[in-house]
Amino acid sequence: MNFYRELKQVLDQHGILMVSDEIQMGFYRTGKLWSIEHFDVQPDVIVFGKALTNGLNPLGGIWAREELINPKIFPPGSTHSTFASNPLGTAVGLEMFKMTNEVDYGAMVMAKGKYFLEGLQDLQKRFPIIGDVDGLGLALRCEICGPDGFTPDKATLDYMVEEGMKGDMVVDGQKLGLILDVGGYYKNVITLAPSLEISYPEIDLGLKLLEQLLVRATKR
């Protein structure tokens, strides 16, 4: 938490702007409109896109301090981009903000994220190959490591990815597969960023499938 505040202090000392790239997080994924809000710091610039129109029509946006983006410094037509404003995209983006105001996504995402994280932590207790597990809201991560629970184990996660794609796991009599999103510097991290509308039964299903992959990984 202190990292961002101290970083901002250093940037201010050297006249460097802090830019918060919210494009991948979208809106409310971490339980707040902007993920940077969790860290008690105000950036100079925020950029956003993707979730703004959910792929219907490309559109990106930027917010900045008034002195950085006022019409005298940043006049209309001063930039051009594939994701620049357009009638359809602007209408969809406006509707998106209206819809997210109709539901308390902040509270909903934090509750679902807490439930999901507790499920991952339960798996962590039972499977030594799970290293660090953490997240904010519905932006979660789970490291796959060696027996020491620390050393990155890309090979084991690669195996889990392949097994999940076979579609031969069984839950409640139904054969299912599981697609894992892999990230991290060592490519040993499972990234979990589901739809904000994910249901609790769907979270349970995901955890059951992940558990089956972990069982296979520890027995191979």
Q: How many residues does the chain have?
A: 220
Residue 183, H or E segment:
strand 181-183
Do 162 and 59 share a structural domain?
no
Domain count, the chain: 2
Question: Looking at the DSSP assignment, which residues form a beta bridge with residue 46?
Answer: 20, 63
Average pLDDT on 146-174 reads 96
Considering only CA atoms, which of 51, 52, 49, 19 is closest in space to residue 36?
19
Do 135 and 77 share a structural domain?
no
Confidence of residue 2 (pLDDT cuts 50, 70, 90): confident
The CATH number linked to 93 is: 3.40.640.10
pLDDT digits (tens, 9 = 90+) for 138-158: 999 999 999 898 999 999 999
* Domain assignment of residue 168, given as a range: 105-219
Do 180 and 123 share a structural domain?
yes
Cα distance between residue 209 and residue 120, in whole Å: 12
Which parts of 51-163 are beta strand (E)? 61-64, 130-136, 139-144
- Cα dihedral sign for 121, 180, 108, 3? positive
For the chain, count helices (H), then strands (E): 6, 9
pLDDT digits (tens, 9 = 90+) for 50-91: 899 988 888 888 899 999 999 898 888 777 777 777 888 899
- Average pLDDT of every residue of the chain: 94
The widest CA-to-CA distance across the chain, in whole angstroms, is 65
- Decide: pTM greater than 0.85: yes
Do 215 and 111 share a structural domain?
yes
Q: In what order do the strands lie in the sheet with 139-144?
A: 130-136, 139-144, 189-192, 181-183
